[in-house]
């Protein structure tokens, strides 16, 4: 379900269900718990930090962020533009600081997500609720349909990219070093910070913060916002998510035109999108080329929608979320909701 008190109150029930079925991914659960514990320690270390370390941790937010948005997402997952080798190497390093799995793994899951969005084959299917889409999908074993769908797609372009495969060969040790140790070493070397203070703040706390910024694209941007481009698509235009995810919140446009390098209709002056600006800056100096846009397709789609409106053709309506589908029978409201499998609840109205 969506973000609510009820969602939190029913997490134990859902956990118990998956525990009994043996669905829990214990390795990822342990890792996620450890990372959040490190971030929690980092919160108490903030007051011990030098101001340079706090600035460094803040800068690592967009630095690691573009490794996901400009790199793993727009370049390697969607091939929405082409980049020179130095750019690909730089983005790989930024992506390693983000430490959200290898580029190969990230792009594989994301391509499956787009091809089978909000179905059982979607790795973070938002039809299963906010918490599952946000981070619950990492704590459970993959649905069999996700595994099947992943085997059907072609990832040869990723395997042929030496930058992607270099990172994959060193996974996870290189990413762990770049995420936690490297930021601390920079702080120690250049302004004499205590290693462990920088480790917990610029490493752990910053890591978990960026992690949740990315998670919001899968959860909040699939549940809250406007749908000006595709009324049948649940992914939405969410400016708040776009702020935290440095431009990735314009999700209705992105799911309509996933090949668009900007992932938004407008430029930086109208829609907050630092990732697009960064790509445009690289293009201006010849390090990026072949930027793809969906604006021409949208112009044709908008004209067709306007013709239908004038002809009196009603707009289609999207399918309700599982927890939104209700029916009233004999004074009883039957709520069909499947946080696990086959759960049907009733309440008096």
CA torsion angle 25 31 33 38 (round to 10): -170
**Count of the separate structural domains present in the chain:** 2
How far apart, in Å, are the Cα atoms of 147 and each of 2, 122, 259?
26, 10, 24
Same domain, 116 and 248: yes
- Confidence (pLDDT) at 274: 97
Same domain, 67 and 204: yes
Same domain, 210 and 326: no
Residues in the chain, pLDDT under 70: 1, 325-349
- Confidence (pLDDT) at 311: 87
Same domain, 329 and 279: no
Same domain, 292 and 166: yes
- Confidence (pLDDT) at 208: 98
Same domain, 259 and 271: yes
Angle between the N-to-C axes of helices 206-218 and 85-98, in degrees from 0 to 180, rounded to the nearest 10? 100
Three-class SS of residue 289?
strand
- Confidence (pLDDT) at 284: 98
Same domain, 194 and 208: yes
Q: What is the pTM of this model?
A: 0.90
Question: Mean pLDDT of all residues in the chain?
Answer: 91
Question: What are the structure tokens assigned to 113, written together?
Answer: 């997500």
- pLDDT tens digit string along 47-88? 999 999 999 999 999 999 999 999 999 999 999 999 999 999
Domain that holds residue 126: 5-317
Same domain, 255 and 343: no
Same domain, 328 and 220: no
Same domain, 306 and 324: no
Same domain, 325 and 282: no
- Confidence (pLDDT) at 325: 59
Same domain, 58 and 192: yes
């Amino acid at each position: 379900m969506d973000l609510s008190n009820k969602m939190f109150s029913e997490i134990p029930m859902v956990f118990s269900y998956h525990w009994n079925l043996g669905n829990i991914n214990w390795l990822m659960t342990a890792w996620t718990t450890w990372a959040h514990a490190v971030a929690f320690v980092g919160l108490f270390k903030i007051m011990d930090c030098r101001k340079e370390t706090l600035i460094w941790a803040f800068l690592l937010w967009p630095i690691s962020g573009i490794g996901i948005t400009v790199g793993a997402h727009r370049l390697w997952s969607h091939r929405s533009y082409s980049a020179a080798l130095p750019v690909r190497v730089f983005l790989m390093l930024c992506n390693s600081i983000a430490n959200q799995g290898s580029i190969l793994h990230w792009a594989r899951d994301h391509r499956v997500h787009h091809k089978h969005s909000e179905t059982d084959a979607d790795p973070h299917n938002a039809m299963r609720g906010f918490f599952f889409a946000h981070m619950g999908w990492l704590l459970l074993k993959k649905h069999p349909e996700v595994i099947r769908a992943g085997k059907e797609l072609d990832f040869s372009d990723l395997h042929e990219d030496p930058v992607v495969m270099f990172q994959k060969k060193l996974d996870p040790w290189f990413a762990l070093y770049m995420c936690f140790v490297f930021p601390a070493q920079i702080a120690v070397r250049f302004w004499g910070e205590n290693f462990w203070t920088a480790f917990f703040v610029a490493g752990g706390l910053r890591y978990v913060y960026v992690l949740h910024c990315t998670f919001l694209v899968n959860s909040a941007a699939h549940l809250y916002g406007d749908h000006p481009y595709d009324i049948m698509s649940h992914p939405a235009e969410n400016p708040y998510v776009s702020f935290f995810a440095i431009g990735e919140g314009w999700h209705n446009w992105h799911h309509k035109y996933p090949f668009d390098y900007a992932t938004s209709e407008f430029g930086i002056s109208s829609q907050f999108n630092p990732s697009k600006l960064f790509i445009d800056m690289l293009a201006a100096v010849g390090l990026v080329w072949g930027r793809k846009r969906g604006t021409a397709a949208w112009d044709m789609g908008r004209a067709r929608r306007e013709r239908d409106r004038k002809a009196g053709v009603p707009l289609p309506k999207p399918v309700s979320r599982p927890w939104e589908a209700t029916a009233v029978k004999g004074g009883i409201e039957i709520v069909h909701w499947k946080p696990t499998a086959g759960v049907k609840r009733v309440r008096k109205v």
